[in-house]
Amino acid sequence: MRAIVFAAGRAGTMPALTESRPEPMLPLMDRPFLQHVVECLVDLGVQQFDFVLSERPDQIEQHFGDGKRWGCEIRYYLARDGAAQYRTGQVLPPIEGKVLVAHGDRLPLVPAGALDSATPAMVETENGWAGWALVDGAAVAQLASARDEGEAEAMLREAAPGRVQAGVTLDIRDYRGYLAAHDAILHQQFPLLLLTGRQASEQIWISRNVSIHPTAKLTAPLFVGENCRIAEGVQLGPGAVVGANSALDQQSSVREAVVLPGSYVGESLDLERSIVDQGRLVNVELGAELAIGDEFLLGSMAGKKPRARWARMAGRLFAIGVLLVLWPVVLLTALILAMGLRAAPFQPERFVVLPAAEDPDRWRTSSVRAAARARSLHSAAAHFILRFLPGLPAVALGRLALVGVEPRAPETVQALPADWRSLYLQSKAGLRTEAFVQYGSQASANERYACEAFYAVSAGFRLDLSILTRYMASIWGFGKPRAQRRYQSAGERR
């Protein structure tokens, strides 16, 4: 059997979830919804697929390829937009015999053998058409004149007089339907779908490499994807779905809610009848969509390098210790600067809190204090007094790290080249950088980019310790940055 799957997607229908993926590729439990559709159609005897795509077609083509993984053949056709997807029937090769017309955002439970009949038929539910129909190949070409799905349905009804009554139908065209689709699978109302992971107990599915704290309370039904972390005191279920590579922090609660893959749910956050997609929250009951800018509430696990709490705490304790020992130096510097500048000695500099999302609207900012014109000084010792010491309170408060990439204002980050900005947003900002240790304050843009690209992929406790050690050594004249050595050598020659 052959199937034509209209999977063009509809831009703007669920903007909080479809910003980075087409609607048919929304995750349903452990895999994209469209994959469930393909697997069910293969079970019904479909061996050839024609996919009609529009929104982000590359994602669908990369995932499915030529279809050999599912024992079928898949070909792709591109429509200008979702409304024009039916016109693709004009370019499809002639189809002989029966063809199944389906939509990639709906999956009806069709009784076994119901579509084996030679009689063209519409697949119906209690609420009307299920988006599937078995028709003669000639009827597909007639769809080319349909301007929307309503007209396409009317044409198919003329070509398919029979009726097939479907059971439960999974429909992800809106937030309520998307949440209801997960609920139907959790309650095993759609037995054709196979889930990965083991069934720990009745209606509780746990995938591989999942860490669950002993104090977490699990209430069926629920599903937890692979590589997830469930922290102390979490209340999970009933009706909870946690996608792969996600983390629920301590004392959080998830009931009748879906956490999409790669999401972080912060401490003591209560989710009910909601959908979380990294930094975005949808309240299904209220129909409200929110972009949460606070990474401590909701955020992404993507690109975050795990750092032990003791390592982060060590940096903060180091900053507090240095401030306790050298506070007279900070006070004396502030007095001298205040007398000379007749203004506040240390000025706040705003920076983007890292790691951060690609969307500037979701960036959080903080500030670190430094003396005016501290960036233009050549001496590491001067930088230590005028920039490092005044910035330590930000480290002690957890706003900034001791070592990282250069803290930058939002407008400066937006001005970075796209590849540099992408690497930068995945890193962490610090008082001291690899670029300063290597090249000093006069590092060129290319030198800063090379150092930050290296740090973005290699950051860890050992590298941070190496950078901090070399920086401290340069303060006392050992291992000066290359730029400082060149500058000094030129001065000596003169």
pLDDT for 293:
61
Angle of helix 389-396 relative to helix 309-341, nearest 10 degrees, comes to 140
For the cut 50, the answer to whether the pLDDT of residue 148 exceeds it is yes
Using an 8 Å Cβ cutoff, are 420 and 398 in contact?
no
Could you give the CA distance from residue 247 to residue 111 in angstroms, rounded to a whole number?
A: 38
More confident residue, 273 or 314: 273
Question: How many C-beta atoms lie closer than 10 Å to residue 153's C-beta?
Answer: 15
How far is residue 24's CA from residue 107's CA, in Å, rounded to a whole number?
11
The position carrying tokens 């039916």 is 86
Ranking 103-107, 303-307, 389-393 by mean pLDDT, the lowest is: 303-307
pLDDT of residue 454: 80
Higher-confidence residue of 394 and 426: namely 394
**295-320 confidence digits (pLDDT tens):** 666 766 654 444 445 667 788 888 88
Q: Which residue has the tokens 């014109």?
A: 373
Whether 229 and 135 share a structural domain: no
**Domain-located, residue 23:** yes
Residue 180, domain member (yes or no): no
Domain count of the chain?
Answer: 3
Whether 222 and 365 map to the same domain: the answer is: no
Task: Report the 3 state secondary structure along the chain.
Answer: CEEEEEECCCCCCCHHHHCCCCHHHCEECCEEHHHHHHHHHHHCCCCEEEEEECCCHHHHHHHHCCCHHHCCEEEEEECCCHHHHHHHHHCCCCCCCEEEEEECCEEECCCCCCCCCCCCEEEEECCEEEEEEEEEHHHHHHHHHCCCHHHHHHHHHHHCCEEEECCCEEECCCHHHHHHHHHHHHCCCCCCCCCCCEEEECCEEECCCCEECCCCEECCCEEECCCCEECCCCEECCCEEECCCCEECCCCEEECEEECCCEEECCCCEEECEEEECCEEEECCCCEEEECCCCCCEEECCCCCCCCHHHHHHHHHHHHHHHHHHHHHHHHHHHHHHHHHCCCCEEEEEEECCCCCCCHHHCCEEEEEEECCHHHCCCHHHHHHHHHHHHHHHHHCCCCEEECECCCCHHHHHHCCHHHHHHHHCCCEEEECHHHHHHCCCCCHHHHHHHHHHHHHHCCHHHHHHHHHHHHHHHCCCCCCHHHHHHHHHHHHC
Q: Are residues 318 and 260 part of one domain?
A: no
**Do 479 and 338 share a structural domain?**
yes
Hey, CA dihedral for 425, 430, 435, 441, is it positive or negative? positive
When comparing pLDDT for 302 and 327, which is higher? Answer: 327
Give the model confidence (pLDDT) of 454-481 as tens digits: 887 677 778 888 888 888 887 776 555 4
Can you give the pLDDT at residue 72?
Answer: 94
Extract the tokens encoding 78: 């591109």
- Assess whether 333 and 471 both reside in one domain: yes
Co-location of 314 and 289 in the same domain: no
Q: Which of 2-6, 319-323, 408-412 has the lowest mean pLDDT?
A: 319-323
Of 2-6, 257-261, 347-351, give the lowest mean pLDDT range: 347-351
Q: Is residue 190 part of a domain?
A: no
Rg (CA), the chain: 29
Supply the pLDDT for residue 184: 93
Whether 189 is covered by a domain: the verdict is no
Residue 390 lies in a domain: yes
The pTM score is 0.63
Task: In whole angstroms, give the CA distance from residue 247 to residue 229.
Answer: 5
369 with 333, same domain: the answer is: yes
Round to whole Å and give the CA distance between 423 and 427: 7
- Position with higher pLDDT, 199 vs 82: 199
Asked if residue 194 has pLDDT above 70, the reply is no
Domain ranges, residue 489: 309-493
Strand partners, 277: 280
Bond from prior residue into 238 cis (ω within 30 degrees of 0): yes
pLDDT of residue 341: 57
| CA–CA gap between residue 477 and residue 150 (Å, rounded) | 77
For residue 355, is the peptide bond before it cis, meaning its omega torsion is within 30 degrees of 0?
Answer: yes
215 and 110 part of one domain = no
Say what the pLDDT of residue 374 is.
47
Same domain? For 58 and 167 the reply is yes
Q: Indicate the pairing of strand 162-165 with strand 121-125.
A: parallel
Say yes or no to pLDDT of 491 above 50: no
Please enumerate in sequence order all residues whose Cβ is within 8 A of that of 241, keeping only pairs 6 or more positions apart, or say none: 29, 182, 186, 222, 223, 257, 258, 259
For residue 215, give the CATH number of its domain. 2.160.10
What's the pLDDT at 311? 66
pLDDT > 90 in the chain, percent:
35
Whether 185 maps to a domain, the answer reads no
Vertex 318, ends 315 and 320: CA angle to 5°? Answer: 110
Q: Looking at the structure, do residues 35 and 129 belong to the same domain, yes or no?
A: yes
Residue 187 located in a structural domain: no
Provide the pLDDT for residue 132. 94
In a domain? residue 94 = yes
Q: Residue 306: what pLDDT?
A: 44
Q: Mean pLDDT across the chain, nearest whole number? A: 83
**Cα dist from 410 to 164, 360, 414, 422, 472, whole Å:** 57, 8, 6, 14, 29
Task: Check which CATH number belongs to the domain holding 131 and give it.
Answer: 3.90.550.10
Whether 105 and 55 map to the same domain: the answer is yes
**Boundary-marking domain end, from 300, 318, 334:** 300
**Does residue 485 surpass a pLDDT of 50?**
no
Check whether residue 144 and residue 221 sit in a common domain. Answer: no
Question: Once rounded to an integer, what is the mean pLDDT over residues 328-345?
Answer: 71
